[in-house]
Structure 1
C-alpha cells in the first residue's frame, strides 16, 4: 500500500511516501480503506520528536482518519463491511498512524460516521472538536450559566470551543478580528470583542478562559478571572517565562490547567466521540474551510503547518479520490 512514513524523527524532510505492507489485522482490530486523513499540529510534534512517545519504524504518520470497513477481527462485532468509520487517536503511544491507503484500527478507538455527514468535513473537525469537548467538560468542568472567554476564537479550535460551550449552556465571550464577528455570533458567541482594542475591560469576571492564540500574557488572563476561575492552557502563552502574583492567585481559588489531547485517556476519547457524533448528526461543528490534497502531499502539508502557510484545515486523500 502507499503510505507517508518516517524512519526516524526529524524535520518534515524525513517524511517519505512509498510502499509499505498492508497492516496485519489482529482479533480486536478493524481494517479500513482510508478515505481521508486530517493533518494537525500535533502530527508535526510527533514526527519531529517534540512530543515524546513510543514509535516503531517505519512509522506511518498521522492520527485522524475516516474510512470504509473492509474486514473485522474475530473479536469485533460492532462494525460491518462497507460501514463508514472514523478514528482520532492513532499515530502515537505505540500505535501506527493512518496516512496510508489502508489502516488497522483497534475497534475501541473506532466510531461510526453518522448517516448523511460529509466524511471530509467530519475528519477536518474531529481533532479540534474533541479537544474542545474534553477540555471544557472533563478538565475545566464548565457549568451551565458560567461565563467562558475564548481568545483567538476564529480559528479551528476557537470555533469548536464556542459551539461546545454554547451547547453546555455557558455564556460565551470571544476575541477576534471584527471581520469574524458575524460568524462567531452565528456559532454561539454572546459577546464579540475586538482583540486589537482594550477588550479586557469588557471581559473581567469570567469563570473560564481558553487562549487559543498564545498571544495574551498569563497574568493578564489571571486578572480577568472571577473567584474560583480557571484557565485552560492548550498552547504556550505570550510570556513564556511568566511569573504569577502567587498570593492573589491562590487566595482567590484560581486554577491553571494544562491540556494536551494526546494525554487524554481512552474513556475520555470515547465519551467525547459520542458527544461529537450527536453534534455531527445535527449538522453542528462542521464549519471548517478545508484544503484537500493527496496523501503524497504529506511532507508539504507538515511544512505548511509549521510555517503558518495555510489557514484552511488540511485533509489528505488517496490518489483518485
Structure 2
C-alpha cells in the first residue's frame, strides 16, 4: 500500500511516500481503507521529535483520518464492513499513523461517521475535540456563565466559540475586525477588536482562553471573576509570564493547561460522541480546506511549519 512515513525524526524532508505492507489486525482492531487525512501542527511536532512520544519505524505519520471499514477483528461487534468511520488519536504514543491507504485502528479509537462531507468532518475533528475536552472536561464549564475567547477567528477559536454556545455560555471574542461578521454568525455575543487592550474591555469573565499566546497572562487574570479559570492551550515564544499572586489566590482563580495528546481515552471517546451529535446537525463543519494528494505529505508539513496554509485546513486525499 502507499503510505507517507519516516525512518527517523527530523525535518519534513524525512517524509517518504512509498510502499509498505498492509497492516494486519488483531481481535480488537478494524482495518480501514483511508479516504482523507487531516494534517495538523501536532503532526509536525511528532515528526520532528519536538513532541517526545513512542514511535516504531517505519512510522506512518498523521493522526486524524476518515475512511471505510474493510475488515474487522474477531471480537469487534460495533462496526461492520462498509461503515464510514473516523479516528483522531493515532500516530503517537506507540500507535502508527493513518497517512496510508489502509490503517489498523483499535476499536475504541474509532467512531461511525454521520452522513456529512468527509473532508469537512476530518478537517474539523482535531480543533473540535480540543475545544470540547477543554470546555467540558478540563474547565467543566457551566451554562449561563461567561467566557472570553482570544484569537477566536482561528481553527481552535471558531470551534471554541461554537461549542461554548452549544454548552450555553455567553461568549465574547477578540479578533481582527474583518472577522466580526463571521464570528457573529457563529454566535459571538460580544465582538472585540484584538488591537484593543484587554484591560479596556470593562467586564469580567468566568472563563478565558487565549488561542494566540499574545495576551499577557496577568491582564487576563485580572479579567477573571471570583473562582474564574484560564484554559491554557498555548504559550508565548518567551515562555515567561509574571502575575499578581495575592490577587490570584485570594480570588480562588486557577490556570489549567491542556494538550489533546494527553487526553485520556475516556475524554476522547466522550468528545467523539459529542462531536458526532454536532456533525449530525451540520455544526462545526465550516473550515476552508486545502486538499493535497498523499504524495504532497512533505509539502503539507512544510506549509504548516512556515505559515503558508493561509488559514486553511490541510487535508490529504487518498481516495
Cα distance in 1, alignment partners of residues 10 and 286 from structure 2: 33
Give the structure 1 partner of residue 172 of structure 2.
173
Give the structure 2 partner of residue 146 of structure 1.
145
Cα distance in 2, alignment partners of residues 191 and 246 from structure 1: 29
Matched, 1:6 2:6: yes
Give the structure 2 partner of residue 34 of structure 1.
34
Give the structure 2 partner of residue 201 of structure 1.
200
Give the structure 2 partner of residue 254 of structure 1.
253
Q: Please report how far the alpha carbon of residue 238 of structure 1 lies from its aligned counterpart in structure 2 after TM superposition.
A: 5.9
Give the structure 2 partner of residue 131 of structure 1.
130
Give the structure 2 partner of residue 53 of structure 1.
53
Give the structure 2 partner of residue 69 of structure 1.
69
Q: Please report how far the alpha carbon of residue 267 of structure 1 lies from its aligned counterpart in structure 2 after TM superposition.
A: 0.7
Give the structure 2 partner of residue 95 of structure 1.
95
Cα distance in 1, alignment partners of residues 248 and 197 from structure 2: 23
Matched, 1:242 2:241: yes
Cα distance in 1, alignment partners of residues 107 and 196 from structure 2: 49
Q: Please report how far the alpha carbon of residue 152 of structure 1 lies from its aligned counterpart in structure 2 after TM superposition.
A: 0.5
For structure 2, the 5+ residue unaligned runs are none
Give the structure 2 partner of residue 84 of structure 1.
84
SS at match of 1:130: helix
Cα distance in 2, alignment partners of residues 163 and 93 from structure 1: 30
Give the structure 1 partner of residue 25 of structure 2.
25
Matched, 1:291 2:290: yes
Paired residues, number: 318
1:59-87 per-position Cα deviation (integer Å, ceiling 9, x unaligned): 00000000000000101011111110000
SS at match of 1:253: coil
The answer (yes or no) to whether the contact 2:292–2:317 under 8 Å persists in 1 is yes
TM-score, length basis structure 2: 0.98
Q: Mapping of 1:110-129 within 5 angstroms?
A: 110-115=110-115, 117-129=116-128
Cα distance in 1, alignment partners of residues 225 and 238 from structure 2: 22
Q: Please report how far the alpha carbon of residue 171 of structure 1 lies from its aligned counterpart in structure 2 after TM superposition.
A: 0.3
The answer (yes or no) to whether the contact 1:65–1:123 under 8 Å persists in 2 is yes
TM-score, length basis structure 1: 0.97
For structure 1, the 5+ residue unaligned runs are none
Cα distance in 2, alignment partners of residues 223 and 238 from structure 1: 22
SS at match of 1:268: helix
SS at match of 2:5: strand
1:119-141 per-position Cα deviation (integer Å, ceiling 9, x unaligned): 11000000000000000000011
Provide closer, same or farther for how the CA distance between residues 287 and 300 of structure 1 changes in structure 2, counting only shifts above 3 A. Answer: same
The answer (yes or no) to whether the contact 2:198–2:220 under 8 Å persists in 1 is no
Q: Mapping of 1:184-223 within 5 angstroms?
A: 184-202=183-201, 204-223=203-222
SS at match of 1:220: helix
The answer (yes or no) to whether the contact 1:218–1:238 under 8 Å persists in 2 is no
Cα distance in 1, alignment partners of residues 305 and 203 from structure 2: 33
Q: 193-202 or 173-182: which moved more?
A: 193-202
Give the structure 2 partner of residue 162 of structure 1.
161
Q: Please report how far the alpha carbon of residue 24 of structure 1 lies from its aligned counterpart in structure 2 after TM superposition.
A: 1.1
Provide closer, same or farther for how the CA distance between residues 193 and 239 of structure 1 changes in structure 2, counting only shifts above 3 A. Answer: farther
Cα distance in 2, alignment partners of residues 237 and 166 from structure 1: 27
Q: Please report how far the alpha carbon of residue 203 of structure 1 lies from its aligned counterpart in structure 2 after TM superposition.
A: 5.3
Matched, 1:317 2:317: yes
Provide closer, same or farther for how the CA distance between residues 220 and 238 of structure 1 changes in structure 2, counting only shifts above 3 A. Answer: farther
What is the Cα-based RMSD across aligned positions, in Å? 1.0
SS at match of 2:304: helix
